[in-house]
Amino acid sequence: MQKHIGEPPTITVLYLRPNVPLTQHYEQTTALNFCKGYLCLFVTVLLCLGAQSEVYAQITISVKVNHNDDDAEERTNDGSMYLNSSDLELVDDGSRDQIVGMRFMGITIPQGTTILDAYIQFETDETNSGTTNLTFHGEDVDDAARFTNSTNNISNRPLTSASVNWNNVPPWTTVSEKHNTPDLTSIIQEIVNRGGWSSGNDMVIIVSGSGERTAESHNGESANAPKLFITYDGNFDLEDCYTVKQTSSGELYSWEQSGSHTFIGNLGVPEVETMVMNGSCDTIFTADGGDFGTINPITGSFTSMGSLGQVDNPTLGTHTIRDVDGMAIDNLSGYIYASERRNSSTDLLFLIDPRNGQVVQDAFGAGIDYVPIPGALLDIDDLAFSPCTGELFGVSTVSNSSSVNDIIVKIDIQSGVATPIVTLPECDSEGMGFNNNCDLFVSAGNSGCVNAGAIFQVNLTTGALTEITDIGGDVEAVVCCVDAPQPSPLACTVLQTNSVCGSTAADIEVFPTGGTGGYVYAWSNGPTTKTQSGVSNGTYTVTVTDFSGNTTTCEVIAETYDPSCSIVEDQADCDKQGSGQATVTLTGVVGAYSLLWSDGQTTATATGLDGGLHTVTVTDGYGCTSTCTIDIQEPAQALICNASQTQYTSCGNASDGEASVVASFGIPAYTYLWDNGQTSTTATGLSQGLHSVTVEDSAGCTTSCSVEILQDTSCCQIIYTNRFLMYKSTHP
């Protein structure tokens, strides 16, 4: 029957392999899963540390009292039990003496393991300072039962022969202060040495003595109930490498570099040809044909995560994954690089996300899920990353050939191009893998021309092979645990990337660095891709999450590239040739810009321009251009005018004279202003006398001329005076 164990304990594993310190936390969920979990934890320790033959580990567990009836008080005078006290009196409760029992569940320590340290941590509930002496025993049973209300339920339990005294317990003067008991190793050791002890069993510690110290109970504050800490020796021999022999149901073996190998179990599938182990060394990934999944390192069984499906390349087309021949895990990013075998054609390189068992889309660019692997023999039968250089290696073969020697190649992870490194004497190398020391191993298939079914260490300089172990048969895959490297801090930048000019929208792209790779993107406006096209002006933020769950955020201000210009002509010297001047005004320019006039000038205002067409080109910071033109108007001769009277004034000082003006040269059209305010070519209503007119051309140049208005000549009078001399006549 499965136990209900309440809140899970915490397990801390301190690995002491030379130069590789590591602390790992593990929390159980249920008793059944915990037993499996411990086994998995133990296997994790076995798998995690690479090529050493032995691992030194100190494992610490901590378990709290997890139920109301797992800390109890028993009165010594009558054996009555109290299971629901709000605190634990150690051990006097006023004038009443008692003993206290505490039950700790799910103690995950293998039978007979060496205990290095043990203690109980109490938290002060009430302050006490009187003399107190306590004695600790364990219940001497394989699996301790829960406390009940039956009389003497604590005192009737058998005690360990080992006991620990805590004499003159220091005063507890501060509420919520923590206090640790002396070392209880002897008690814990006696219990786990029992023949019937099993990892995951429950343990009871009993306290008796005199005096009073008051601690929190599970009923009072469950989070601060008594907690038992145990540290034990986790030393064990290491089995760190695995291989798969291809049969109708597949066979998983572990092997050691000392030359031994051990059959673990059947996979239950026939087409496993490659496998990898993650950087935590607790999961083996593989593929059965085109079906991705995991291998249980304890039983050998294969669990499918589903079909890998199709991959796309806009140039080479769509391909359905059916025969995964090689896999190598990038322990920094967590992604798996995989090769797909194609009969009589170049193999393909693509990526798998082991978290979901899916092909990584756009792994080699927009719309490009895969690239071919040119430069190798017909097949890439397996892949492996070197932990020393980070380079991707492959073993290149002609399958089922007993005469063509295999080649170790390096593969460019961006282009897929394979470069030969060294030729092997073997001719059917099927699997390959590095260990933590950067030693390379290959396995031979049925057609091996050195020793079919053997595992060899490879000299990468000469290609020489040293046989490690002979499993026999078609040994298709080999893998050793390789520690994941420590990543650099995760960071990102965002850039506007489009250079399409005249656009009303922008393209932006995020560039992450560091972290553990496997980046996932979340933009402030919704998309989850690395790039965005056609965004409008504005500020955009993106959160980048790496394979390990680390995040960073960066932003960009998107601006569209649509520069434009306009030109205005400035007034030139009216009596001077080549004095034209124009100024350009810019809009929509992004970043630094440059100007170039058709006569070579580079400033916003161009001077000394001759008459005629002139252009200016503006180039902004993204290389986008705009050109505008102006026609500089420059006269052949300076503006002149001639005014003449066209009508005399009438007689009698009338103001009815008229005059007209004729403009020449300059730049038509002309405007006129007479001294009486009239603005046409002919002025009317002029009085007798001198009148002037100012003429202005379209360039703003002016000239003046004048005319004298005269009276009509018919108004002139000539007066003649005749003198008559009168005489008196004497003649009749």
Q: What is the DSSP string of 139-151?
A: E-SSSPPPP-SST
Q: Measure the CA–CA gap between 248 and 474, rounded to whole angstroms.
A: 11
> Per-residue pLDDT averaged across 488-500, rounded?
80
pLDDT of residue 37: 29
- Residue 642: pLDDT band by 50, 70, 90 thresholds? very high
- What topology does CATH give the domain 241-480? Neuraminidase (2.120.10)
Nearest CA to 266 out of 295, 307, 241 is that of 295
Residues 63, 106 contacting (CB under 8 angstroms): yes
Residue 730 clears pLDDT 90, i.e. is over it: no
Query: pLDDT of 356-371, one tens digit each?
Result: 999 999 888 888 999 9
Q: Which residue has the higher pLDDT, 5 or 663?
A: 663
Query: pLDDT of 532-582, one tens digit each?
Result: 988 888 899 999 988 778 899 999 988 776 788 888 877 666 666 666 788
**CATH class of the domain comprising 564-632:** mainly beta
Residue 354 clears pLDDT 90, i.e. is over it: yes
- Residue 401: pLDDT band by 50, 70, 90 thresholds? low
pLDDT of residue 712: 82
Residue 45 clears pLDDT 60, i.e. is over it: no
Name residue, tokens 């002496």: 133
Residue 26 clears pLDDT 60, i.e. is over it: no
The maximal CA–CA distance of the chain, rounded, in angstroms, is: 205
Same fold, 62-233 and 640-715: no
Q: What percent of the chain has pLDDT over 70?
A: 85
Residue 43 clears pLDDT 70, i.e. is over it: no
What order of strands is seen across the sheet that includes strand 475-480? 261-266, 251-255, 241-245, 475-480
62-233 — its CATH code? 2.60.120
Q: Measure the CA–CA gap between 194 and 202, rounded to whole angstroms.
A: 13
DSSP string covering 298-350, please? TT--EEEEEE--EEEETTTEEEE---EEEEEE-TTT--EEEEE--TTS--EEE
102 forms beta bridges with 71, 205
Q: Which residue has the higher pLDDT, 123 or 622?
A: 123
Helix-, strand-, coil-residue percentages of the chain, each rounded to 5: 5, 45, 50
The lowest-confidence range among 143-147, 219-223, 573-577 is 573-577
pLDDT of residue 35: 29
The lowest-confidence range among 195-209, 693-707, 716-730 is 716-730
Residues 20, 483 contacting (CB under 8 angstroms): yes
pLDDT of residue 499: 57
- Residue 28: pLDDT band by 50, 70, 90 thresholds? very low
- Residue 249: pLDDT band by 50, 70, 90 thresholds? very high
Q: How many CB atoms lie within 10 A of CB 720?
A: 4
pLDDT of residue 381: 92
> Per-residue pLDDT averaged across 451-470, rounded?
94
> Per-residue pLDDT averaged across 168-185, rounded?
96
Q: Measure the CA–CA gap between 524 and 417, rounded to whole angstroms.
A: 37
Amino acid at 604: A
CATH architecture under which domain 491-558 falls = Sandwich (2.60)
Beta-carbon contacts of 1 under 8 Å, excluding residues fewer than 6 positions away, are: none
The lowest-confidence range among 136-150, 283-297, 701-715 is 701-715
Q: What percent of the chain has pLDDT over 90?
A: 54
pLDDT of residue 15: 43
pLDDT of residue 257: 85
Q: How many CB atoms lie within 10 A of CB 537?
A: 11
- Residue 352: pLDDT band by 50, 70, 90 thresholds? very high
DSSP string covering 242-269, please? EEEE-SSS-EEEEE-TTS-EEEEEE-S-
> Per-residue pLDDT averaged across 133-150, rounded?
96
pLDDT of residue 20: 36
- Residue 701: pLDDT band by 50, 70, 90 thresholds? confident
Most confident stretch, 50-59, 453-462, 569-578? 453-462
Q: Which residue has the higher pLDDT, 66 or 53?
A: 66
For the chain, the average pLDDT equals 84
> Per-residue pLDDT averaged across 284-296, rounded?
95
Residue 408 clears pLDDT 80, i.e. is over it: yes
> Per-residue pLDDT averaged across 26-51, rounded?
31
Query: pLDDT of 315-331, one tens digit each?
Result: 999 999 999 999 999 87
Q: Which residue has the higher pLDDT, 666 or 661?
A: 661
pLDDT of residue 671: 95
CATH architecture under which domain 640-715 falls = Sandwich (2.60)
Residue 44 clears pLDDT 90, i.e. is over it: no
Residues 45, 12 contacting (CB under 8 angstroms): no
Cα 461 to Cα 376, 380, 388: the distances in Å are 18, 20, 15
* DSSP state, residue 58: E
pLDDT of residue 500: 62
Name all contacts of 709-713 with Cβ < 8 Å and 24+ positions apart.
709/645, 709/648, 709/649, 709/657, 709/659, 710/645, 710/648, 710/649, 710/657, 711/648, 711/649, 711/650, 711/651, 712/648, 712/649, 712/650, 712/651, 713/648
Residue 83 clears pLDDT 70, i.e. is over it: yes
Residue 17 clears pLDDT 60, i.e. is over it: no
- Residue 488: pLDDT band by 50, 70, 90 thresholds? confident
At residue 40, φ and ψ (nearest 5 deg) are -65, -40
- Residue 490: pLDDT band by 50, 70, 90 thresholds? confident
pLDDT of residue 486: 64
On the question of a cis peptide bond just before residue 311, with omega within 30 degrees of 0, the verdict is: no
Q: Which residue has the higher pLDDT, 375 or 552?
A: 552
The residues spanned by each domain of the chain are 62-233, 241-480, 491-558, 564-632, 640-715
Q: Which residue has the higher pLDDT, 64 or 506?
A: 64
